[in-house]
Amino acid sequence: MFPKTPIAGALALIICAGALASETKPAAQSVSLLQQAEGLPADFHEFFFDVPLAVRVEVDQQFLGEAMILLSRDERVTLINFTDTRDSDLTSSERDEWAALLIQGVALGACKSGCPRELLTVHYSLEDSTVSLVTANAERDPQARQFHDQPEGGSVGLIVRNQLNISGGQEQNPAGRYGLEASASLGNWTNTFNAQLSRMSGADTGIKHAVHELHTQRELEGTFFRAGYFTPSAQGLTRPVRTIGSGPDTVLGMMYGSSDSLAIDNPKPSLYPISVTANRQAMVEIYRNGVLINSQQVASGLQTLDTRPLPGGIYEVEVRLIEDGQLISSNRELIYKPRNWNNPENRWRYNLFAGRESKLLSNWQERDDGDLTAGAAFNFLLHPRVVLGLSARQVKEQMQLGTSAEWTAGDRTSFYSSVSQTKGQGTGMELQAVHQYNGGSLVLRHQRSWLDTRNTYEQLPDGTHIRQRNTYNGQTSNTSLAVNQRLNSKSSVSAQVSHSEGYSEGLGIDLSWTRNAQLFGHNADWRVAVFDRPGTVGTADQRNRGVDISLRLALGSDGHQVSGSVGQRTSRDGGRDSNASVSYRRDLKDHVLQSVSATASSDVYGTGLAGTADFITDQVNGSMHVQRSSYNGHVSGGLNLDSTLAVSGQKAVLSGQASTRQAGMIIDVESEVDDIQMRADDLSGTSTTLRPGRNFIPVSAYKNGTVNFDFNGTDVPAASIHPARTTYHLNRAAWIIARCVSSRP
């Protein structure tokens, strides 16, 4: 929100004091502009008329925007410009029409003739700095809008994310991957392309290529439609239903389902109202766990409380009715505002797709094209505490069925269960119970699923990748009970008991203790862990028993950190493996390098060394690592790069910022001041540093927004910025171009 000027604040303070001093003074809405000005000191008159004032503009009690205006002595108001319309529920065309009218200037008071847009009266209140416009539609009951309007005429733009991953080493075939994710906005449609080239480090050294997405999608009010080539997903569901077995990799077809992309995040009331009965005007206080979370004034009689400001969730509150400072009644009530359901009035959420399995431009897997595939998944809000799920899909002439139920038994206790069945792969199951209590939590879980490790690699503790000697393809199950308990403000313990069948067999136990303390005047984190786990191919099928003691020490507040560990575990050949390691890490600020680290380790096989570095530039971000294996002495390393290209019109920018695949602005900064630093503040809460030249800032899609430009830091140069702000309203993947000039006065 644009801050009100000091003059406007002083004027409001003076008029408020005058209102408090005289109970018989008419309400501000009933007096003219000149009458309001009479209550001001004479010295303030020159700061009241014909100077820019920051105000709030309302139409029929609906917010139109924050604005700068001019007031004249002939009782007229003239709009200079709107500074923020982000929270307005009116459409952009309505705002533009009102802006065009107000820029011409309108007379305060009742409209007598030739009234545009059914305007009845215009009023300015000095007390709250508000310009109110009343039309013939003022008495209608406005319904809160549920969805954002898409930009009129749509929007255009392209965003391309490039990822490059390379790794290799001694006696290893080099491996690599190039991934490309592109999203383009054309009108009100978002077009997506996702592809990759890869080369494995194993025996199969051929170049693999695959296209995962090549489709167009349209966001509608509460739903979306997709057509083209895509990987089926559970988009639109609150709680996806798990199924056993693999789904279709890629499909040439269509998808339709629920969507919240255009939904406005309006405060939601409790599904079940809370009411109180007061004998006279009173105060209601609402407490949760003994803490006041809201208070409201209520009139006499039966009154329903406004639960929209209360936090989301299902929880118990205490409602206290207080009259004249005396507690009259206290009742326990339940708030029903499900966190995992955007609109409880709409109890169904769904996702449907149909098409043919296809491997368009892909040699990733040997499979046949042309098999028909289809699927449907649903969520149903049976009760504010219960969400049911159902899924069915046809994959390679096999029907995969699944069902689920989620029950929020209380504010701290929840249960989840799912059962799925696929021909040839049996029945899958997941049961989970979670209970949180003061100082800890308890989690009970049972899971049965299908595991296929025929195309996976094993990673050794020092980072080496090797092909597994034994592979597994079949059912696997795991049952576990985990307890986390905080002993005090600095110490906690955790324990887990598990039993596995299938890939690994037997009982496993993990115990750990952590403590935060001071060591040599620095913050230190201690951790002691003991474990006894079932054997796997990585331990020659011998049980993996051991202990690990670790220490992490922060050296001051400038990003230096040292850590070390000693322990014992089962080695790859089933024997004992005593190991130790020491690491150093440095986090850097305002530098190309974001962090660097070095590690030395020792175990039964020898000594290992490793180093990593994270970096970011204006064009690319990434990381690199190098290591010497203690297992075979081989040296290996890798490089990861990530960059985003944004295109709008005939302009483009390459950025090292990670892409959110939303929307953005390309800003060209021109300055007469050398080495100037500016910032762009989005009223949604983000801030980006701007430098002379081309800049990239991400913004939210679908919502109206405003970006303000200002100088960075406190050492402000003698220069001005034009324009001081700009607005946006974009679809996903759309981009707009802005130009910002910093010049000397």
Q: What is the pLDDT of residues 401-436, one digit of tens each?
A: 999 999 988 778 889 999 988 877 778 888 999 998
Average pLDDT over residues 535-557: 85
Cα-based distances in Å from 245 to 248, 370, 598: 10, 20, 41
Query: Is the pLDDT higher at 258 or at 398?
Result: 258
Class (C level, CATH) for 275-337: mainly beta
**Residue 93 pLDDT class (50, 70, 90 cuts):** confident
Mean pLDDT of 501-530: 88
Rounded CA-CA distance 90/55 in Å is 18
pLDDT of 14 over the 70 cut: no
pLDDT of residue 364 exceeding 80, the answer is no
pLDDT at 8 exceeding the cut of 50: no
Q: Distance (Å, rounded) from C-alpha 248 to C-alpha 212?
A: 11
Decide which of 303 and 565 is more confident: 565
Distance from C-alpha of 105 to C-alpha of 118, rounded to nearest angstrom: 16
pLDDT value at residue 9: 42
The reported pLDDT for the residue numbered 368 is 57
Mean pLDDT in residue range 249-265: 87
| β-bridge partners, 625 | 612, 638
| pLDDT reading at 105 higher than 70 | yes
Mean pLDDT is lowest, of 74-88, 126-140, 543-557, 636-650, for: 126-140
Listed by start position, the domains of the chain span 6-135, 275-337, 653-743
Cα-flanking dihedrals φ and ψ of residue 670, to 5°? -115, 135
Average pLDDT over residues 563-568: 93
Q: What is the pLDDT of residue 287?
A: 93
Mean pLDDT of all residues in 91-104: 89
CB-based contacts of 429: which residues, under 8 Å, 6+ apart?
417, 418, 419, 420, 446, 447, 448
Instruction: Find the mean pLDDT for residues 707-727.
Output: 81
Q: Give Cα separations from 70 to 32, 60, 73, 238, 239 (angstroms).
A: 16, 21, 10, 49, 53
Q: Are 552 and 525 in contact (CB under 8 A)?
A: yes
In this prediction, residue 460 has a pLDDT band, given cuts at 50, 70 and 90, of very low
- Residue 199 CB partners (closer than 8 Å, separation 6+): 173, 174, 175, 176, 177, 205, 206, 207, 208
Distance CA 439, CA 493 (A): 11
Q: Which fold does the domain 653-743 belong to in CATH?
A: Immunoglobulin-like (2.60.40)
pLDDT (mean) for 435-453: 83
Task: Let me know if the fold of 275-337 is the same as that of 653-743.
Answer: yes
* pLDDT top residue among 7 and 441: 441
CB 389 within 8 A of CB 379: yes
- Look at residue 20 and tell me whether its pLDDT is greater than 50: no
d(CA 335, CA 314): 5
Which of the pair, 213 or 674, is modelled with greater confidence? 213
Q: What's the rounded mean pLDDT across residues 21-41?
A: 52
Over 90: is that where the pLDDT of 564 sits? Answer: yes
Per-residue pLDDT, averaged over 556-563, amounts to 84
If you average pLDDT over residues 301-306, what whole number do you get? 71
Cut 0.95: pTM above it: no
DSSP-derived secondary structure letter, 73: T
pLDDT, position 5: 42
pLDDT the model gives residue 469: 52
The predicted pLDDT at position 656 comes to 81
Q: DSSP code of 268? A: P
Compute the average pLDDT of residues 629-643: 88
Respond yes or no on whether the N-terminal peptide bond of residue 240 is cis (omega within 30° of 0).
Answer: no
pLDDT at 168 over 80: yes
Residue 119 CA to residue 106 CA, distance in Å, equals 10
Query: Residue 80 has what pLDDT?
Result: 92
Q: Which of 221-225, 247-251, 294-298 has the lowest mean pLDDT?
A: 247-251
Give the integer Cα–Cα distance in Å for 656 and 653: 10
For the segment 450-454, the average pLDDT, to the nearest whole number, is 62
What pLDDT shows up at residue 7? 41
Is the pLDDT confidence value at 341 over 80?
A: no
| pLDDT score of 558 more than 80 | no
Q: What is the reported pLDDT for 142?
A: 52
- Mean pLDDT to the nearest integer, 225-248: 82
- Name 79's bridge partners: 69
pLDDT of residue 203: 59
User: Would you state the pLDDT for residue 452?
Assistant: 60
The pairing of beta strand 282-288 with beta strand 313-323: antiparallel
CB proximity list for 745: less than 8 A, separation 6 or greater: 718, 719, 720
3-class SS of residue 541: coil
User: Residue 324: exposed, middle, or buried by beta-carbon count in 10 A (0-12, 13-18, 19+)?
Assistant: exposed
pLDDT bin (cut points 50, 70, 90) of residue 576 is confident
- The whole-chain average pLDDT of the chain stands at 81
Which has more pLDDT, 416 or 9? Answer: 416
Which of 129-138, 546-555, 643-652 comes out lowest in average pLDDT? 129-138
End-to-end, the C-alpha distance of the chain in Å comes to: 27
pLDDT at position 432 is 92
Confidence band, pLDDT 50/70/90 cuts, at residue 261? confident
> What number is the average pLDDT over the span 167-193?
88
Residue 3 has what pLDDT?
39
